[in-house]
Amino acid sequence: MTRTNRWLIVAAGALALILLEARSAYAMHIMEGFLPPGWALLWFAVALPFWVIGFRRIKRLVIEKPETRMLLGLVGAFAFVLSALKIPSVTGSSSHPTGTGLGAILFGPAVMSIVGTIVLLFQALLLAHGGLTTLGANAVAMAIVGPLVAWGIWSGLKGRVPTYLAVFFAAALANFATYVVTSLQLALAYPDPTGGFAAAFIKFGTIFAVTQIPLAISEGILTVLIFNALQTNAQTEIAALDVLKGA
């Protein structure tokens, strides 16, 4: 079996597993126009430095390690399909897998800040998930904070626990961290009339947790399966990225 065929099997298997969970999932990220203009602009400003660093990192990666381009495309597709599956959670947003933990483990958080933002942009333009005015906020939550958490957990646990546990916790906690940030963003924009930011944050976070905790666990398990498949079918790329160094 050629390497291309193995890659196709890995991608098809990932897509099949994802679609099995997609039959009743719908809704969106923080939707277009939902955030006040001031908050929308603020989150763009927060995301901008990460985009600059991420763009430079991807440019260097493609030049120095061109053999990893197919793997980069795969993690982008994984994040696109997985994060397109929406389960309604609260007015103006939703719960869904993120798919960014895998890419953060393989390429680091800087690269995923760009890949995740491209995923969000395509979803806004092609699927009406999220929006252009809320792209900065959604990117901070899913493409920046989530991958940073995944990378931090992976780096901290790698070599100290079995690899599959490090992958699981990195992906699951990245997913959950995304929704902690989304709850924070919504609470800042729409504080509770009586309890202020704290009450609003607790309200949004509690509603999200009902669906997000099982989703985070599911994403962690799926990411372990895909990571194990890549260890078998993408050995050259994994070695080039030094992913398992110290594990």
Position 185 in a domain: yes
Identify the CATH number of the domain in which residue 98 sits: 1.10.1760.20
Portion of the chain with pLDDT greater than 90, in percent? 60
Q: What is the distance between the alpha carbons of residues 226 and 228, in angstroms, rounded to a whole number? A: 5
Domain that holds residue 237: 3-241
pLDDT band (50, 70, 90) for residue 133:
very high
pLDDT at position 68 is: 92
In a domain, 246, yes or no: no
Q: Is residue 247 part of a domain?
A: no
Stronger pLDDT, 37 or 128, i.e. the higher one: 37
The CA distance from 165 to 224, in Å, is: 8
Q: Is 6 helix (H, G, I), strand (E, B) or coil?
A: helix
How many domains would you assign to the chain?
A: 1
- HSE-up of residue 194 (Cα within 13 Å, Cβ side): 1
Looking at the chain, the whole-number percentage of residues with pLDDT higher than 70 is 84
Buried b (16+ CB within 10 A) or exposed e, 56-75: ebbeebeeeeeebeebbebb
Judge whether 44 lies within some domain.
Answer: yes
Average pLDDT, the chain: 85
Could you tell me if 68 and 241 are in contact, meaning their C-beta atoms sit under 8 angstroms apart?
yes
Q: Tens digits of per-residue pLDDT, 182-230?
A: 989 999 999 999 999 999 999 888 877 777 788 899 999 999 999 999 9
pLDDT of 88 > 80? The answer is: no
Say if 176 falls within a structural domain: yes
pTM: 0.84
